[in-house]
Structure 1
């Protein structure tokens, strides 16, 4: 197919040359080439066409969607796809803080940094987080978390993955915890508007508690990472979660999630509203709550 214009599909045949047919006569089009499509009231970008269960579908940057009738398409043309650079990088730094005085003196800091590097078929992701909270001059929380993930793609969507993380959390009686693991992952979507991936790994986990006890075990770690850039102008919804399940004891599991919304302020700056929900079914001590839930509002800088 060459394109669609003035209600007609144009294509080139090696034998018959340039041909045209009116859209009202078209039922299906299958093409691995990429096109920009203009429909009534919207535009779709970088689309290729396929047929599934006798229905026409479009796979575009905006997602996969059915097309009820080709007569809805106003125009289509080839997408000019620039070659991807060898090295791609993106990252962010997010800061949320609270400082109040009067009847109570409260200070809270929450700093998140994340950077991702893509080199050909490999992806490296580094993340760091620091939380500090105090009330009336006494510290009530201090925690560090650092992680690294490595992904090596062997198809457009399947990849081998490895990870490692280290954390401390004094007020959850956790002197230190570290883990390393390997497994497989699948990139469901990676477009201008959507990112969706899932990873499953087998990890070795070691924990040293302030009580003097230690705990180590093999575990299964499931990660999901989703982002929806709603309008291409900086508005974004995101969700990440991690489920860690011990192989040795069914009741030894934890779930950590972050769900939020970004709205652009100016340039690379955006505001962030997010909810964190953490559930640890076997905390260090019975006195420690299993559920840790936190709403935060902050500023995000993307680079």
Structure 2
């Protein structure tokens, strides 16, 4: 008898629909799924029938969720709600024990799943790997690994990135270099920020064997949401060059830095470009450019294929002249 009861309960549980979040739109439509994020005026809901769906926040009438969510009505602080309950048009109720609070949807700037330690932490990044093997009159092996990750909480954003390139031609090393960069941004307003940055480059083949750069300056974040991001920064840099013969040079420079990415075709394709162009304040060089541009195609939610072009130029410096262009294709992971 007991086994029959347990079997009936199991069948009933399997046949019952799973709890789902619900979003009501102003045009009368209703979507069910799981709310994953609201940021930059876009609400992202994961559905079983259409995958990830992006909704314009201005079209939302109200919503309901049984998840514990962090609701931020300004850029730096938020309230952790045990659940969200549907309310009148243009409003939602934050249910939190005995003190539910109804707020205007227009006052909400961000909704996200609270993290264990830093509740409003937003962490994203990618790792790209490219391998190229050619067997012909000249045998060539080419390896390229890039990573970039950023974490934002409150007024602070931390970004770390790096790359490693190594190429053999007939068992002779023709390229062997790596680069690491760390920057920290302090947001003064929702869009203006102040950045500090450290960059180190090491090259075991070129005459310019080491580059060290320390910079600081203001920047502006045009947007940063689920569909992409765009920021510009102006920097005053102190750069040190060290050459393979042991000689050194150092100088100050003014630089402009950009970082842009945009998701297309339902977030399946990402176009991105980032880099920096600088002008030394002394006569060490005419200008320097370090930039990349490319596409990523998401095969799954985490795996992607990528195609990139990289350009590295130092012009007008007798000992440090450099002009490199690299094209790579490979695979990677994104989070």
Return the TM-score normalized by structure 2.
Answer: 0.66
Q: Distance in 2 between matches of 1:211 and 1:250?
A: 18
Q: 1:240 aligns with which of 259, 269, 274?
A: 274
Equivalent residue pairs, number: 241
Equivalence for 1:301: 333
Does the aligned pair in 2 maintain the 1:209–1:284 contact within 8 Å?
Answer: no
Structure 1 residue 45 corresponds to structure 2 residue 39: no
Structure 1 residue 82 corresponds to structure 2 residue 111: yes
Q: Distance in 2 between matches of 1:264 and 1:232?
A: 10
CA deviation vs aligned residue, 1:161-216 (integer Å, no higher than 9, x gap): 00001111122212211011111010011122120001111111101101332110
How far off its partner does 1:221 sit?
Answer: 2.1
Does the aligned pair in 1 maintain the 2:285–2:314 contact within 8 Å?
Answer: no
SS of 2:306 mapped into structure 1: strand
Change (3 A) 1:252 1:170: farther
Equivalent residues in 2 for 1:1-303, closer than 5 Å? 4-5=26-27, 45-47=56-58, 82-83=111-112, 85-249=119-283, 251-283=285-317, 285=319, 290-303=322-335
Q: Any stretches of 5+ residues in structure 2 without a counterpart?
A: 1-23, 29-40, 44-52, 60-88, 92-104, 114-118
Q: Distance in 1 between matches of 2:216 and 2:196?
A: 4
How far off its partner does 1:154 sit?
Answer: 1.3
Change (3 A) 1:3 1:193: closer
Change (3 A) 1:181 1:43: closer
Q: Distance in 2 between matches of 1:164 and 1:35?
A: 33
Q: Distance in 2 between matches of 1:250 and 1:154?
A: 34
Q: Distance in 2 between matches of 1:204 and 1:285?
A: 18
How far off its partner does 1:242 sit?
Answer: 0.5
Does the aligned pair in 2 maintain the 1:244–1:255 contact within 8 Å?
Answer: yes
Q: Distance in 2 between matches of 1:43 and 1:151?
A: 28
- Per mean C-alpha deviation after superposition, the further-off stretch among 148-157 and 261-270 is 261-270
Does the aligned pair in 1 maintain the 2:42–2:225 contact within 8 Å?
Answer: no
Equivalence for 2:85: none
Q: Distance in 2 between matches of 1:214 and 1:191?
A: 43
Does the aligned pair in 1 maintain the 2:284–2:317 contact within 8 Å?
Answer: no
Change (3 A) 1:278 1:47: farther
How far off its partner does 1:223 sit?
Answer: 0.6
Q: Distance in 2 between matches of 1:284 and 1:47?
A: 57
Equivalence for 1:68: none
Return the TM-score normalized by structure 1.
Answer: 0.72
Q: Distance in 2 between matches of 1:100 and 1:231?
A: 33
Q: Distance in 2 between matches of 1:232 and 1:154?
A: 33
